[in-house]
Chain A
């Protein structure tokens, strides 16, 4: 069965600091990779996704993620965080292909950005 590991459960940064959140998955085949974000009081929403092609994916609000197949990783980055980035971030994986794929989520990372 697939599993997703997010190494940092809580991260605290000051504004303008750089961010990197780790995500590793266990599945040897083709995968689809996602980062979802949940801002306080809001729904889960998609931040970015990787299906194929360029392993460096750019998402909304200046976020990007890099798929490194050899490391089974899909780390999320942002060069300079803002107070408004305070949220919980979830990495998720589904098996690649055209069939029905179940999303498997990591446990999430709570990011607090202090002004």
Chain B
């Protein structure tokens, strides 16, 4: 079974530039998550999709971050404009169920460096 795919794996940009990350979840997984993991911290949920609808985006900085899930499958996370404090690993995860404590499967992450 193929895992969660993410691209790019690494990205370096200057502050005020924009950047986009892509995620392809495990086939058949209804729920998709984007996490931000700053160095020395645990992952923090940014946004959660159920199919192509947003379930939770309470911790997404909506003035600069946006995300969409196309046709309930792939997802993109965008930052515009980027700030220095956005330097982090951005993790995508997916899970099978529509609710409940299902196991989340994580992708390799995208390491973003903002200079």
Asked if B48 CB lies within 8 Å of chain A CBs, one says yes
Bound form: Cα–Cα A103–B44 in Å:
8
| Range of interface residues on A (Cβ < 8 Å) | 20 to 34
How far, in angstroms, from A107 to B55 measured CA to CA in the complex? 24
Does residue B1 face the partner (Cβ distance < 8 Å to A)?
A: no
Answer yes or no: B63 CB below 8 A from chain A CBs: no
A106 and B45 CA atoms in complex are apart in Å by 12
Kindly state the separation between the CA atoms of A49 and B101 in the bound complex, as whole angstroms.
Answer: 9
A90 interface hit (Cβ, 8 Å): yes
Knowing A90-B42, A105-B44, A107-B40, say if A44 contacts B103 (CB, 8 Å).
no
B53 to chain A, nearest CB (A): 11
Binary contact readout A99-111 vs B (1 if CB under 8 angstroms, 0 otherwise): 1111111111000
- B residues sitting closer than 8 Å to A (CB atoms) are 3-4, 31, 33, 40-45, 48, 50, 55-56, 91, 93, 99-101, 103-109
Question: A residues touching B (Cβ–Cβ < 8 Å)?
Answer: 4, 32, 36, 43-46, 49, 51, 90, 92, 94, 96-108
Q: Which 10 A-B pairs have the closest CB atoms?
A: A105-B42, A32-B101, A44-B106, A100-B55, A43-B106, A105-B43, A98-B100, A107-B42, A102-B45, A98-B99
